Chains A and B, each alone.
Chain A
Amino acid sequence: MRKLGLLLLVFGLSLGVAAGAQTIEKVVIGLSAPPRTMDPHGSDADSNLSIMSNIFDGLARRDVDGKLLPGLAVSWERVDAVTWRFRLRKGVKFHNGNDFTWEDVAFTFQRLKDPEVSEFLATGNLVKSVEPVDGDPWTIDIVTTRPVAWFVQNLHQIFIMDKESTEARSRGEVASYPIGTGPYKFVEWIRGDHLTLVANEDYWGGPPPVKKVIFKEIVDSFTRLAAIETGTVDIIQDIPLELFDRAKANPNLSIITRPARRGMFLGMKQTPDYPMHDVRVRKAIYMAINVQELIDKVMFGHASPAAQIADPPTVGYNPEIKRFPYDPEEAKRLLAEAGYPNGFSVTLKAPTDRYPRDEETAEAIAKQLAKVGIKVTLDAKPKAMYFPEVTHHDVELYYLGWFDGAYSAMRTFTKLVHSYDKERGYGLFNAGDISDKLLDYLIEQSDTIVDPELYVEWSQMTNRIAFEWKVVYIPLFYLEDSYAVYKPSGIKFTPRPDTWMTIVDVIQP
């Protein structure tokens, strides 16, 4: 009898999904990029934040549409240009049993400033103080050193750590055994192999339906595909373009794609000694590039056209911005009008190992520009050599991708569009030395706008001016995120825009 009971139990467990029990025993995920550290501040790479979002919570969180939702803070408001007021969630416990309090928040922001442990130095150094309001420990004011309109937009990736256990343990231990408030508790991490998490049944958002999660590191793309073809894992990230058809042909796999957050674009040197100083020349280059051909022929259809760098969930994304049409005749006319009837010579720099088919894309662009008389010398090199040249502004034409982790177009603009200003940290990636007084003003002023609706409209306007009127960059396309799910596992999967594998969001029971 007992044996029969056991048998029924095993049977029941294995049918957990089908029986509509609303729980899934175990999900195995094949990661394309290994976790770097278990310290939630130790890496700002999405591949790492992705894992951390299961173990930790931020004051805010984001859902599968990229919408900002309450996290460890139940609500917030911007009191004045530099003050943000948060109401904290009561009754939350860390995995070690410690209560979540305002002091953990204060500790977290202090820790972000420490270069020994943090890759969020910019965020950490923005925060001046974290204090309770009128002695109420559940209401706090975070004061920034300067007005920052997107401050709260960034908080889904700033994970709150337990002050007591983080201070008491060595740095190595903190980076190996994470203690958070999140929906999953840490079990073990065998570096290079796998990371195991179990459901936190006391999670403030309710017990997570998936009880155990195993993240397997499978960096080689062929092996990752083999892993899901054999059902060794349930879900994989990043199907390589070269193996896409093979994956699609497999009846056991369902392929899920969505536009990536990263927008690819062409930057141009815009100092007066370059032809691209003239907006007509920039527009001519824009119109000489057949982006649909790049998408179809070079990217095998795995990209979608972009009219701006920001993607739809980003604050400041403006759906009204339209691409200039592909029109080589008009491009030639614009070049002639600008004084270059026979075109000119220019160097196009691109990385060879950073983005999917980066070198091939640059090659195709060079050929397209040749058709309107612009003679392009291609200079493609490994990213380790390419990126220092970009940050030293040693470029003429260059191929780059960008997305904003804080979902703010204006934050991106402070790095990519604002005139270079070392002191204030503006324009570090403005490799083309764009220097436009109007845009500088619009970008700087945006941070002082307290009214959220006005801020959105301001950002959208600035974005539109930059791309339609000033043509500061030539947007090309958004890359594509891809996933494969092993159908017999019965798992329903919805990807997030930021590619995070936040299990409570991406897997539906």
Chain B
Amino acid sequence: MGAYIVRRIAQGLVVLLLVSFICFVIFQYMGDPAWALAGRYATPEQLEMVRKKLGLDKPFYIQYLIFLRNALHGNFGMSFVSRLPAMQLILERLPATFELALMAMLIAVTFGVGLGVLVSVAPNSPASRLIMAGSLLGISIPTFLTGILLIMVFAVDLRWFPPFGRGEVVRIFGNWRSGLLTWDGLKHLILPAITLSTYQLAVLLRLTRAGMMEVLGEEYIKTAWAKGLPQRAVLFKHALRNALIPVVTMIGLQFGELIAFSIVTETVFQWPGMGNLLLSAIFESDQPVIVSYITFVSLVILFLNLLVDILYVFINPKIRYV
């Protein structure tokens, strides 16, 4: 187990190196940030001065090595746009994204697993067919469209929810501002969380249904029915527990994805999270912020994957890592 974890961490580091290297290759085609930074009326001499100051005059592999050296010291550079430490900018946006992802996950798990069980019990009922068709829709509608539709119906027409932003937040500790503790904050959270959850909800639903259908055909379930156990006990105690293993894996992986892929949702709802920051950073060629974001999100995903692998052992004692 220990050796396995060490190996996984080593693999993760290689992935991180690769990811950041690809970033630097892409930066070569993103335009010259010196133009924006020196001002439109700068002379070529001043442009050169700015490039030198930022190290942009060096060949890109040198820039990359300098980045690696600084990154190892926890320094991810200054944002070209706000001239503040890039990692600080990312981390101050983390609470917003984390809370959004958490709420979306909650919705996806509750309804995904719940409806999945429901559908598996009576797979041929009209209600089940409707739910399954709906889940296809959830997988195929692009996120931005879901967001726009929700805003149009529930914010503009019905006025139930605010159309954008995070609403009232309270500082819980340090710089962590939470929107989960105020009524206003929660109201702001609902629409973006639903938007972000639709895809994952549909995936979980289909996964739960498939698992349940398989398990429900097993002999021990028939035995449970034959014993005369109540339906609730059979479904949740016997069947769901065994159908849940792939679902739990999926939840772990999805949480990382929710954090990483909240970009569209955050943009549509002007949610002040990391995805929103990434998009404006891309728009302004703010390279230090882009590479910090990608490094950070890669770290989160790698960590969650590892966590899922470890949790596996506890859920299913049959699994061993060597």
Contacts and interface: CB of A to CB of B under 8 A. Distances in A.
Interface of A: 34, 36-37, 39, 42-44, 115-117, 119-123, 125, 171-172, 175-176, 190-194, 216-220, 222-223, 226-227, 229-230, 232, 383-385, 387-388, 391, 405, 411, 415, 422, 424-425, 428
B27 to A, nearest CB: 10
B49 interface: yes
B65 interface: no
A193 B165 contact: yes
Contact of B41 (A122, A191, A387): A122
Interface residues of B, number: 53
Contacts of B181: none
Interface stretch (B102-110, B131-139, B148-156, B242-250): B148-156
Contact of B280 (A34, A193, A229): A34
Interface of B: 29-32, 35-46, 49-50, 53, 81-85, 89, 92-93, 96, 148, 151-152, 155-156, 159, 162-166, 177, 267-273, 276-277, 279-280, 284-285
Given A37-B81, A117-B83, A385-B31, A227 B163 contact: yes
A interface, over-half SS: loop
A58 to B, nearest CB: 16
Contacts of B284: 36
Contacts of A216: 164-165, 270
B269 A223 contact: yes
A156 to B, nearest CB: 15
Given A223-B164, A226-B163, A122 B42 contact: yes
A176 to B, nearest CB: 7
B82 A115 contact: no
B154 to A, nearest CB: 11
Q: Which 10 A-B pairs have the closest CB atoms?
A: A425-B43, A192-B272, A384-B31, A193-B272, A122-B41, A226-B163, A121-B46, A119-B39, A44-B39, A37-B82
Most buried by B among A172, A411, A422: A172
Contacts of B177: 190
Contacts of A232: 162-165
A121 B270 contact: no
A121 B31 contact: no
A192 B159 contact: no
A428 B163 contact: no
Contacts of B166: 193
A424 B159 CA distance: 59
Nearest to A114: B53
Contacts of A121: 38-39, 42, 46, 49-50
Contacts of A405: 40-41
B50 A115 contact: yes
Contacts of B276: 192, 219
A422 B44 contact: yes
Contact of B273 (A117, A192, A229): A192
B40 A217 contact: no
B164 A218 contact: yes
Nearest to B159: A230
Contacts of B89: 191
A80 B151 CA distance: 60
A109 B96 CA distance: 39
A122 B36 CA distance: 13
A36 B156 contact: no
Contacts of A223: 151, 163-164, 268-270
Contact of A384 (B29, B44, B159, B280): B29
Given A219-B280, A226-B164, A425-B44, A175 B82 contact: yes
B43 A229 contact: no
A121 B42 CA distance: 6
B5 to A, nearest CB: 36
Contacts of B36: 119
Given A115-B53, A117-B83, A192-B273, 6 more contacts: A115-B37, A121-B46, A217-B272, A219-B276, A230-B155, A384-B30
Contact of B32 (A39, A43, A388): A388
Nearest to A190: B272
A411 B41 contact: yes
Nearest to B53: A115
Contacts of A219: 267, 270, 276, 279-280
Contacts of A220: 267-268, 270
Contacts of B162: 230, 232
Contacts of B46: 115, 121-122, 125
Contacts of B151: 222-223, 226
B83 A192 contact: no
Contacts of B84: 37, 172, 175-176
A98 B270 CA distance: 37
A415 B41 CA distance: 8
Nearest to B34: A115
B287 to A, nearest CB: 12
10 contacts: A171-B83, A176-B84, A192-B273, A193-B165, A216-B164, A218-B164, A219-B279, A384-B29, A425-B44, A425-B45
A193 B95 CA distance: 13
Contacts of A39: 83
A192 B53 contact: no
Nearest to A42: B83
B81 A36 contact: yes
B155 A226 contact: yes
B45 A116 contact: no
A70 B81 CA distance: 30
A153 to B, nearest CB: 13
B163 A230 contact: yes
Contact of A226 (B83, B152, B267, B271): B152
A217 B82 contact: no
B38 A383 contact: no
B83 A175 contact: yes
Nearest to B49: A115
